[in-house]
Chain A
Amino acid sequence: EVVLTQSPATLSLSPGQRATLSCRASQSVRIYLAWYQQKLGQAPRLLIYDTSNRATGIPARFSGSGSETDFTLTISSLEPEDFATYYCQQRSDWPLTFGGGTRVEI
Chain B
Amino acid sequence: EVQLVESGGGLVKPGGSLRLSCAASGFSFSSYNMNWVRQAPGKGLEWVSSISRSSTHTNYADSVKGRFTISRDNAKNSLYLQMNSLRAEDTAVYYCARVSAAAGNQYGSGSYDVWGQGTTVTVSS
Contact = CB atoms under 8 A, between A and B. Distances in A.
Interface of A: 32, 34, 36, 38, 43-46, 49-50, 53, 55-56, 87, 89, 91, 94-101
Interface residues of B, number: 24
A74 B102 CA distance: 22
A95 B45 contact: no
Closest 9 CB pairs of A and B: A34-B111, A43-B115, A49-B103, A96-B47, A98-B45, A49-B111, A46-B113, A101-B44, A91-B109
Contact of A91 (B45, B62, B111): B111
Contact of A95 (B62, B105, B110, B118): B62
Q: Is the interface of B mostly helix, strand, loop or mixed?
A: strand
Contacts of B62: 95
Contacts, number: 64
Interface string B93-125: 001000010111100011111011110000000
Nearest to A1: B62
Given A34-B111, A46-B112, A55-B113, A91 B46 contact: no
Interface string B55-87: 000010110000000000000000000000000
A94 B59 contact: yes
B52 interface: no
Given A43-B117, A87-B45, A96-B109, 20 more contacts: A32-B103, A34-B112, A38-B45, A43-B95, A46-B113, A49-B102, A50-B102, A50-B103, A56-B113, A89-B47, A91-B103, A91-B104, A91-B110, A91-B111, A94-B109, A95-B61, A96-B50, A98-B44, A98-B45, A99-B44
